[in-house]
Amino acid sequence: MKERMDSTRSHQEHKADDKRAERTETRNSWQPRILAFLCNWCSYAGADLAGVSRIQYPPNIRAVRVPCSGRVNPIFILKCLQNGFDGVLVSGCHPGDCHYISGNYVARRKFAVLKTVLEFMGLEPGRVQFSWVSAGEGEKFAQVVTRVTEDVKRLGPARKLVKAVRSSDTKD
């Protein structure tokens, strides 16, 4: 069925609001989508260990395996928020354990600044989180995911920075 394409902004906005209301009403059933960038050498293996150890953790994360937390360009994180992920987790090796010696040290600086900027602007602190999880810390991985999922659930669906593709034009 053809959707009626009305280019008045208010109409579209109302529709978006309705959608949001729907989502809020079904808050209990709403499940956040969280993207997790996991370092190949530690956190990804940690997730694996959590799996084989049959440790329970919420199924809300989508994992993307990266060679190092240093590979995670802050743009990736922002792009996730723009594309509507409700939360982003980046997890790498503990300091001193980086496979590439210093990747996570450099990443730590980048993430500190990113987090500062986003929270300064007013983005909810829980949306973007970071952790160090080693290959042996299956238990910790499950705890981190549980915590991040709970934080994001509490915050509700992401709205800030989310880009909607719609027929109305947004600049007034």
Partner 1 sequence: MSKVLRLDKKRLDEFVAALFSRYRLFGPVDSGGLMRFAEVESAGALRLDIANPDESAKGIFFPQTETLLTGNQGEVVPTQEPDRPIAVIGIRPCDARGLLMLDKVFGTGEHNDPYWTRRYRNALIVTMGCSTPRAGCFCNWLGSGPFSTEGSDIALTDIGDAILLEPRSEKGMDFLKGIPCEEASAADLRKAADIKERAESSMAGKVDVSSLKSALDRAWDSPLWDELTGKCLSCAACAYLCPTCHCFDIQDEKASGTNQCRRIRIWDSCMAPLFTKEASGHNPRPTGKERLRQRVMHKFNYFVDVYGEMACVGCGRCIRSCPVNLDIREVLVRFINAG
Partner 2 sequence: MANVEQLLRDKVEELLKEKKVSCVIGHARGSTAFRSTPVFARSEADTDGLIFDITCGNNLAQYLRRCDRAQGDRVGIVAKGCDGRAVVQYVAEGQVKREDVLIIGVPCEGVLDHRKVRDRVQDRDVSRCRVDGETVVFEGKDFEVSMDRSDVLSDSCKRCRYPNPPVYDVFITEPVEAAPEKCGRQELEKFEELGASERWAFFEKEFAKCIRCYACRNACPMCYCEECFVDQSDPQWFGKSTDLSDTMLFHIVRALHTAGRCVECGACERACPLGINLSLLNQRVEREVRERFGYTPGLVPDQIPAMAAYNEEDKQEFIL
- Which residues would be at the binding site for partner 1 (CB under 8 A)? 2-3, 5-8, 82-84, 163-172
Note whether 10 binds partner 2 by CB under 8 A.
no
- The DSSP secondary-structure symbol of 86 reads S
**Interface with partner 2, residue 147, by CB under 8 A:** yes
Contacts with partner 2 by CB under 8 A: the residue count is 41
CA atoms of 161 and 83, how far apart (whole Å): 8
112 binds partner 2 (CB under 8 A): yes
Structure tokens at 140: 């910790």
Q: What backbone torsions phi and psi does residue 35 show, to the nearest 5 degrees?
A: -100, 130
Q: Binding marks (x or -) toward partner 2, 113..142, rule CB under 8 A?
A: xxxxxxxxxxxx----xxxx----------
CA dihedral over 133, 137, 139, 142, signed as positive or negative: positive
1 vs 121, beta carbon nearer partner 2 = 121
By CB under 8 A, tell whether 149 contacts partner 2.
no
Q: How far is the CB of 29 from partner 2 (least distance, A)?
A: 26
| Residues forming beta bridges with residue 149, ordered by sequence position | none
Q: Interface with partner 2 includes 105 (CB under 8 A)?
A: yes
Torsion sign over Cα 136, 42, 141, 104: positive
Residue closest to 78 by CA, chosen among 90, 92, 60: 90
> What is the rounded CA–CA span in Å between residue 10 and residue 16?
10
Max intra-chain CA distance, the chain: 57
The least CB distance from residue 165 to partner 1, in Å, is 4
132 binds, options partner 2, partner 1, none, Cβ within 5 to 8 A by partner type:
partner 2
Pairing of strands 128-132, 34-39: unpaired
The answer to whether residue 96 forms part of the interface with partner 2 (CB under 8 A) is yes
Contacts to partner 2 by CB under 8 A: 74-75, 78-79, 82, 95-96, 102, 105-106, 108-124, 129-132, 144, 147-148, 160-164, 170-171
